Amino acid sequence: MLILQILSLESAHGYGVAQRLEQISREVVQVNQGSLYPALHRLEQKGWLRSEWKQSETGRDARFYSLTASGRKQLTVEKESWARLAGAVQLIFDEGRR
């Protein structure tokens, strides 16, 4: 879900996705490169991302990922699911205060 959210903002190469996640989360979310690239590949296989080779800001060729229409729909589903789960967790925490 977090990768989809980052790529809903702008296309990025894998390292850029990791940097943006860490930046936005104030470095609470630390991305393991060994997990990120397989996740990007799986999301692309599902049709939620597409990729193309472009030059990065350093002038090197890099695979840039962007969200597809299907990926945008899936992001909405994932956000709704997360909101339900977070609400349920809050109910459990609130019950402990009674």
Report pTM.
Answer: 0.88
Domain locations along the chain: 2-95
pLDDT score for 88: 95
pLDDT in tens, 22-78: 999 999 999 998 999 999 999 999 999 999 999 988 899 999 999 999 999 999 999
Per residue in 51-76, is it b (16+ CB within 10 Å) or e — as a string?
beeeeeeeeeebebbebbeebeebbe
DSSP conformation class of 25: T
pLDDT score for 33: 86
Say which CATH topology domain 2-95 has. Arc Repressor Mutant, subunit A (1.10.10)
User: pLDDT tier at 97 (50, 70, 90 boundaries)?
Assistant: confident
Q: pLDDT at residue 98 above 70?
A: no
